Structure 1
């Protein structure tokens, strides 16, 4: 009798892990899709135009997004099941991420649409899954997060990624071929998304999430998400922008975004015309704030967890 009860408990727990991993995956894919269809986004692909990208459009993003589901599920499931150190969890999900990148590139015919978000969302999904382990025997249904729960996710991420920058960039001066990220680190000392991850995504934790929590829920979701995007553009050390146009391009993006917000943001009467003008400028200069778009996606994911988006 006791053995049968024990088996049923194990089966129920496995079933709950599968359900919760699925829910995390749904939130992650929703976040990717929300960003894709958000418009207008200066320099970025949206349903209206392709911004500064000549090799992709909104349909490329739809194809790419469909390829991410299984990998996202694996990230979440790995976190929910993980019993070893958080550093080793990060090492494990990087292998999942490499395979997911291959699937994405196959689906998009070798166009890099979501490499950045595979990295960041992999971290957030695994960290969230790991955090949720403590509630598997507490809640029947998937829980709605509170601020304190989200704060714990950022703490877990810091532990997962401790020493990431030093490890990834060691002996960089001895390499014959460098990736885009390595080139930026070698030339500018720019740590990019690795540095952001190792710091625990502080701008999202300390600025973006507090802003999302206090936004007027009567405002359209489009306006609320665009506000967050411009906040990110005004502060993010975006490696996509630097790669395309150098530090000068990054300063331009920050300046344009800050001016837009300072003069009233989406509330000003000519907001859409200003965004269109900014888009034309970014397209002309071949600038795409893709790093900010990726951070918007993980912000939406957290907003979904807290049931505020």
Structure 2
């Protein structure tokens, strides 16, 4: 009996060490995705390494400070997933508590500026779902973080949908009795706008569809760089996403303007146009004049980049 117990303890310790190693890797991937999105330029209306877009209270250095505060929280999200013994919906309840602490750390680092609250919400769901799904990973002897197959990624998307089932109705059912509403709550009350909650409850379909396109090598061009691909992904997301950041700043009209602007850019060839960068610079000026910032699309770009890393999809020429 003693030998059996010792063997079980060794197995448990090995599994714990593997999960911690994988959590660290997941945290790095997520932080890298956030940083890639931050420095990508030129981005219309968004903070990047060239200008502040439509933001007066933050710049690229604010984003770097903020991103540096997120890593340990991303690891915590992963360990929440690895350590969870309940179902997917109860996992979502668990990570919301972790997210509150991560947001607190972010605000302390940025002195109260909201740089990454949206990405903390989305990354929390994604990272914990990946970890929760990896608990049943068939190749249990693998020590290094595994490259996920498209089938395994589909399991992650299914897990995210289960985690967030009923999210919108649960979060918004008492709004009429609340005295102070968040921007997301105000948009729901005024327009029935679901924003990132709706995207999450649907299992992040825009990101899933983006990955389907990337797997088909539809972006692979001889002259395409990784930067070009990420910018085209951003514009595809801008043309589709119900971006609450855009609506909160400029209303539904601003959202339609962003979608139409992105569609025209893509229809004319996207980053394959000879003057693509010049066009984005002009779009940025228009967005700045209207105080438009497609922050929701930027967050989903970071999520897409994380999945590109998890699947090891080759992007760029």
Name the SS for the 1:112 alignment partner.
Answer: coil
Match of 2:156 in 1: 153
Residue of structure 1 in register with 2:144 after alignment: 141
The secondary structure found in structure 1 opposite 2:147 is coil
Alignment of 1:162-173 (within 5 A): 162-173=165-176
Q: Which moved more, 1:289-298 or 1:147-156?
A: 147-156
Distance 1:138 1:237 in 2: 42
Q: Offset at 1:5?
A: 2.3
> Superposed, which structure 2 residues align to 1:1-20 within 5 Å?
1-20=3-22
Deviations 1:207-261 (A, max 9, x none): x112222131752110010010000000001000000000010011001100000
Give every structure 1 segment of 4 or more consecutive aligned residues whose post-TM-superposition deviation is greater than 4 Å: none
Q: Does 1:106 align with 2:111?
A: no
Equivalent-residue separation in structure 1 for 2:49 and 2:100 (angstroms): 28
Q: Offset at 1:129?
A: 0.2
Match of 1:285 in 2: 290
> Residues of 1 paired with 2:275 and 2:188: CA distance?
39
Unaligned stretches of 5+ residues in structure 1: none
TM-score, normalised with respect to structure 1: 0.97
SS of 1:70 mapped into structure 2: helix
- The alignment status of 1:251 with 2:256, answered yes or no, reads yes
1:180-259 correspondence to structure 2 within 5 Å: 180-206=183-209, 208-213=210-215, 214=217, 215-216=219-220, 219-259=224-264
2:120 alignment partner, SS class: helix
Residues 47-66 of structure 1, C-alpha deviation per residue, up to 9 Å, x if partnerless? 00000000000000000000
1:87 aligns with 2:89: yes
The aligned counterpart of 1:131 is: 133
Structure 2, gaps ≥5 residues long = none
Aligned to 1:267: 272
Q: Normalising to structure 2: TM-score of the pair?
A: 0.95
- Map 1:36-75 to 2 at 5 A: 36-75=38-77
1:28-59: CA deviation from partner (whole Å, max 9, x where unpaired): 00100000010000000000000000000000
1:10 Cα offset (Å): 1.5
1:294 pairs, out of 281, 286, 299, with 299
Secondary structure of 2:143 counterpart: coil
Q: Which moved more, 1:139-148 or 1:72-81?
A: 139-148
Map Cα deviations across residues 274-302 of structure 1 (whole Å, 9 max, x no partner).
10110000000000000000000000000
Q: Secondary structure at the match of 1:134?
A: coil
For 2:16 and 2:172, the matched residues in 1 are separated by: 39
State the shift of 1:113 in Å: 0.2
